[in-house]
Amino acid sequence: MDPATKMLRNPVIPTYFSIALPWTMATMASSSAAIVDGIFVGNFVGANALAAVNLVMPLFTLIGGISTVISTGSVVKYAKYAGEHDWEKAAAIFTKSMIVLTVFSLLFTLAAFAFTDGILHVLSVNAELYGLSRLYLRITAAFQAFMILGFGLSFFVRVDGSPAVASVAVTGGAVLNILLDWLFLAVFGFGLAGAAYATGLSFVFTLAVACCRLPRRDCRLRLTRRLGCWRDFLGAVYNGSSELLNEISGGFIVFLINGIMIRAAGASGVAGFAVISYLLVFGMMAAFGFSDSLSPLVSCNMAAGKRGRATAFLLTACLTVFGIGALLFAVLTLWPEPLLRAFLPEDAAALQIAQEFLHGFRWMFLLAGVNIVFTSYFTGLHKPLCSLVTAGLRGMLLPLLLVWTFFRVWGIPGSAAAVPVSELLTFTVGAVIIFRLNRRHLSRGRRAAVLVHLPRIR
């Protein structure tokens, strides 16, 4: 049975979780590796090194977001062609995405080395943290091609009927990252450079495992010289553009609050918020895993005319991510201090800032995942404008307006509360858009039914 048939005919809940669970486990493992990476850096290198990594992280979030736009938009288009059983066009869109991802990754690496000082200036890196941030940026940038191509190929492998291979690629890379962190930092004492090399080598592993799927006979992914018109690829990127805002939303929020922290509380403030940013990444990666699995399922079923089945996938995804968000909220409410002390066992000032910030910030986990699912659903429907509006509100516009406004009125606790308020407002807008889309579809269905029966009435 080819992957398109499975997405169109198998029961909704088992089909969704057979794709979503392995990928979510992989993304969770990846985010867990980032958290463990922060624990090793904070414990074996120091709070300044942790702050230096956190200042650079928004850049890599942006790069990951751009590659996710290309991958997600292409995969959704690939699923559409699979639903139509047009495998020639599916091969063309896969080939185009691999070409663009390769060129983009090489250009970024060159730019990171050529304009290091300018990049660090834009990221608000001060003199105290400059050397550490520069070191981490350059080493990690050298491995970005492996990261971009590895994750991009994993997106396609997952939809091609091998979610387990994609999961092993990403999860194995995360496990390797943790093991190398222990070896390079705890055993050999390589410092922050060791953490950067550990991350880079894990990217190499991910790409190598994902490539293992390509030679198999049942693999539908193939490179072709018949690329055809690039218009469908540009349309795919536009449709997936909201994923950029979703992907960089965490990094953008980190960037905004880093600016506040470094002015209001110095390096201790940045280090304290660095802990929160790792928890933010962990929570958002769970939502990304489930939402990323939704859009190709919706696209494939809509291409086959199965709108009710696409809606069932949406409801399943929303209930799942809301449950995960509620669980994270409960953990952060009941046991905040043990989590924070794992990162900063000896820095009392940074720990106190993190505790105060988390009190208001934790509420964002209740609706953030559902909002991300909304944008993926709109992407699967090939409604890029709706997806951009929802993602833009939660990822850019509302945080930009509210974080600084709330900070000026209520200080650091106010900037923490601004993020959940942004999620609540975004949820309201997203729910209204879905209601209007469904009402429009129902009204069209009624009109079609009337037209069908008109001859009989006459």
Asked whether the beta carbons of 77 and 112 are under 8 A apart, the reply is: no
Q: Is the pLDDT of residue 207 over 80?
A: yes
Question: What is the reported pLDDT for 452?
Answer: 37
Question: What is the reported pLDDT for 371?
Answer: 92
Model pLDDT for residues 153-186, shown as the tens digit of each residue: 888 888 777 778 888 888 888 889 889 989 998 8
The position carrying tokens 């896969």 is 94
Q: Which pTM value belongs to this model?
A: 0.70
Q: What's the distance, CA 385 to chain centroid?
A: 19
Can you tell me the distance from the alpha carbon of 81 to that of 70, in angstroms, rounded to the nearest whole number? 17
Asked whether the beta carbons of 154 and 170 are under 8 A apart, the reply is: yes
Can you tell me the distance from the alpha carbon of 381 to that of 116, in angstroms, rounded to the nearest whole number? 40
Q: What is the DSSP string of 352-378?
A: HHHHHHHHHHGGGHHHHHHHHHHHHHH
Question: Helical H runs in 381-411?
Answer: 384-392, 398-410
Question: Helical H runs in 115-230?
Answer: 116-122, 130-141, 144-159, 163-181, 192-211
Q: How many residues does the chain have?
A: 458
Model pLDDT for residues 9-28, shown as the tens digit of each residue: 888 888 888 888 877 877 77
- Summarize the confidence of residues 197-222 as an average pLDDT: 85
Q: What is the CA radius of gyration of the chain?
A: 22
- Summarize the confidence of residues 314-328 as an average pLDDT: 91
CA angle 349, 351, 356 (to 5 degrees): 100
Model confidence at 455, pLDDT cuts 50, 70, 90, reads very low
Model pLDDT for residues 144-155, shown as the tens digit of each residue: 899 889 888 888
Question: What is the reported pLDDT for 344?
Answer: 65
What's the whole-number average pLDDT of the chain? 81
Q: Point out the least confidently predicted range of 34-38, 97-101, 135-139, 322-326.
A: 34-38
Model confidence at 49, pLDDT cuts 50, 70, 90, reads confident
Question: What is the reported pLDDT for 456?
Answer: 40
Sorted by sequence, the CB contacts under 8 Å of residue 128 that are 6+ apart come out as 48, 267
For helices 365-380 and 266-292, the axis angle rounded to 10 degrees is 40
Distances (CA, A) of 376 to 69, 241, 245, 370, 411: 11, 11, 12, 10, 34
Q: Is the pLDDT of residue 354 over 80?
A: no
Q: Is the pLDDT of residue 453 over 60?
A: no
- DSSP annotation of 10 reads S
Question: What is the reported pLDDT for 33?
Answer: 66
- DSSP annotation of 185 reads I
Model pLDDT for residues 237-289, shown as the tens digit of each residue: 877 777 667 666 666 777 777 777 777 666 666 676 777 777 777 777 778 87
Per-domain boundaries in the chain = 3-457
